[in-house]
Chain A
Amino acid sequence: MRLLKVELLNWASYKGLHTFDFSSTKNRNGYAIFGNNSRGKTSFTDAIKWVMYGEAFTKAVMGTDGKESRKRRPLVSAQQEDNPLLNVHSFREGVYDLMVRIIFSHEGTVWTLARVVAPDTPIVGDDNDLGFYLGLSSETERLENQNAQDFINNLLPKDINKFFFIDGESVNEYRALIANTEQNLEIRKNIEDILNFPILKRGAADLKEVTGQYMTKLSKLSKDTNKNRIRREKIDKLEGEIAQAKSYMTESQKELKKAEKEHDTIESKLGLYKETEKLIERQRGNRKLISAANKSQNDTYTLLKKENKDLWLYFLQPSLKQKISLLAPELEQLSEIRYSISQLNQRSRFLLNAHQGEKTPCSTCHRLPEPRDKEQKKLEVVELDDIAIKIQQLNESLDDHKQSSELYNSLQQFNTANRLDTAEHYQERLGELQGEIELLNEEQSEIKDMLDGLDDKEIEVLKNKLEEIHAIILNKRGLTRRLENQIELLTKEMSDNRRALIGSDGSDESTQLRTKIKALEAMSRLWDIVSDKYAQETRVVIEEKATETFKSLTNNPDGYEKLELNSGFGLKIIDSDGYVIPAPSPGAQQVVAISLIDALRQTSDIDFPIIFDTPGASIDKEHRDNIIKHFWSKRDTQFIILASSGEFRPDEVEKDNKALLAKTWQLDFNSGVNSTIVTPRLQ
């Protein structure tokens, strides 16, 4: 199948009619639609999914349970955040026509597929006021609604569309494919879905059903003996019981589905509450931080106060200097007194020394005393007494000036520059702490506003309701299981009775019927055997294809031997030395996932373009280039990438892949007309 044209009318951000013409005579498969975020790239993919399956979903969002989920996009809404399919501005202007039309060629025929939504009422309030139409036509054929849907489901079954509409941003969903290295039911299920397993799975059920029909026919042929009459009565009774049990089971399944839906709704509302608990936790944390910051602020303030006191002294310094200068004569006198004391002490030591002996040199001047008579020595003793008196007097005078001296010394030791720096530092720290406290208080206030907006009673009611529904779900699940077991037992009993009835009959017609039943039973057995055999053979082929693609996409093909799918469908990356790589990087995982997707797609017999939204999400440029080159050059399928400018530079891509590209477009948003604008680039 090749896309020839895509037309969008009032679709999402595409207000009015917009056309992408994919027809090309260049015989190339490369197509690229460039555009920044929110320019309509994903809406383009959604449009093709919607025209095919009648539904479109939002991007995957991580739920409170850690699982990713998507919401169905409504047809209409006046709020952009609801992601409606009809352009919000068209809706506000009362224009309700919505259409996606694709023209494609398939096995030599050109087909036009259109899904149209039109209003059933003059004013549209919600989706219920709108009607749908699906039409598929070629030159010779026209199919509508369910028939058109059947055709599309054969072209590309909905269950496996994710292998053709690849979303690079939802790579987590694909990584689930390679999550387990030993046993992987996800891979097995995808292999079964994408390949022809419905022939086997649905076929086995069909064959069993037809066998049952034949057994019923045969039982009716049986002779009306008394024993058989009792058996028939028993069979009729069992049929009634089975029908009743099936009806109960259908009812129970419906109720279970309803309860599960309600459970999801409440849980999603309570998700907000869980967020609230986080907020409360954060509020508590903030309180501690504020308290610590306040304490630190107080401590800093005390230190600053001390510094301020010193600073106060600093600012008083000029007046102190003035005072000191006034004391200058006193200080000079003080200095003179000290000098006199020193001189007298020296003379005193000399005289004392001389008295000790004339051969002992002076301890100060190291000279020997000159020889003296008795009279002279006497005079020296008198002089010594005088010196002692004078020193005492001078020391007393020194005490009188001591206060001025100390004041002078303390002022000299005062280091004004350092004090000023320290004070500024504390002032700065106080400012920082104040800022932190204000920020925390602001956040506290925001949290308080958020918490005030919540209704505790409503949360309590929702919690109780959730518990009730959970109990209902458990109950219904149990009931459904019991009914399934009951139906199985009743069916077995009925089957035994039928066999007994058939065995008692010996007519030609019944012999014919028995032959047919044996053939159908043998066919059922064959289908069971082939299912397992086919799964294993498919596995080997997929392993080869995935390895081939992986080596083509990786930057280091020689570093790997292969991708290995074991019999449990667990996937491993084997390096060139034959060892399993235990923890591949996220980038490697993505490349493996893409290789596996490509292998599954190649192995299926489905011919459909690959539409890859944001192929470069979470991988480096080299791998991005490998991916687009691989798909654009090696396949006979159209490969359309929807890339943001963060992933690929349009000019660069067009220049590097000139020989591979058929057409490219640029998407922009024009706020004047409230619409995405489609501009052809390379055509």
Chain B
Amino acid sequence: MMSKDSEWNLLAVIEESVKELDDPNLPPELVKKIYKILQKYQYRTNRDRPRDLIARLIESHNWGEP
């Protein structure tokens, strides 16, 4: 989230943490897309839609050869 008066934001904190963790199971671009979905539906009480979108995103991501 970008605050109105500051450059500091949540996505930056997430991206920084992804770098620090350096986990091969955490593709940065996937993290960013999931963040966007959750941001859009953050105040929705019924969570079916964001969960469905996350599952679709996981399915459509290129995970490489097994």
Contact = CB atoms under 8 A, between A and B. Distances in A.
26 contacts: A154-B43, A157-B43, A196-B10, A198-B38, A198-B42, A200-B10, A202-B38, A202-B47, A203-B34, A206-B51, A214-B55, A511-B66, A512-B66, A515-B66, A519-B26, A522-B21, A522-B26, A526-B18, A530-B10, A534-B10, A537-B8, A541-B6, A603-B3, A603-B4, A603-B6, A607-B4
A145 interface: no
Interface string B52-66: 001100100001001
A541 B13 CA distance: 14
B57 to A, nearest CB: 10
A530 B13 contact: yes
Given A533-B13, A541-B3, A207 B54 contact: yes
B15 to A, nearest CB: 10
A602 B5 contact: yes
Contacts of B41: 202
A206 B27 contact: no
Contacts of A199: 1, 10, 35, 38-39, 42
B34 A523 contact: yes
Given A196-B10, A526-B18, A537-B13, A206 B1 contact: no
A526 B14 contact: yes
Contacts of A150: 43-44
Contacts of B34: 203, 207, 523
Contacts of B5: 545, 602-603
A518 interface: yes
Contacts of A154: 43
A529 B21 contact: yes
Band of interface residues on B: 35 or more
A530 B23 contact: no
A518 B26 CA distance: 9
Contacts of A533: 13, 17
Contact of A602 (B4, B14, B43): B4
A68 interface: no
Contact of B31 (A200, A523, A541, A607): A523
Contact of A518 (B10, B18, B25): B25
A522 B63 contact: no
A182 interface: no
A81 interface: no
Interface string A198-230: 111011011101100110000000000000000
B26 A526 contact: yes
A195 interface: yes
Interface in A511-538: 511-512, 515-516, 518-523, 525-526, 529-530, 533-534, 537
Nearest to A540: B8
B43 to A, nearest CB: 5
A105 interface: no
Contacts of A530: 10, 13-14, 17
A610 B2 CA distance: 20
A604 interface: yes
A207 B25 CA distance: 14
A317 interface: no
Contact of A196 (B42, B55, B66): B42
Nearest to A603: B3
B47 A210 contact: no
Interface in B18-32: 18, 21, 23, 25-27, 30-31
A153 interface: yes
A605 interface: yes
A506 B35 CA distance: 32
A520 B4 contact: no
Most buried by B among A157, A196, A199, A603: A199
A511 B66 CA distance: 6
A150 B41 CA distance: 9
Given A199-B39, A541-B6, A522 B25 contact: yes
A375 interface: no
A605 B8 CA distance: 12
A452 interface: no
Contacts of B55: 210, 213-214
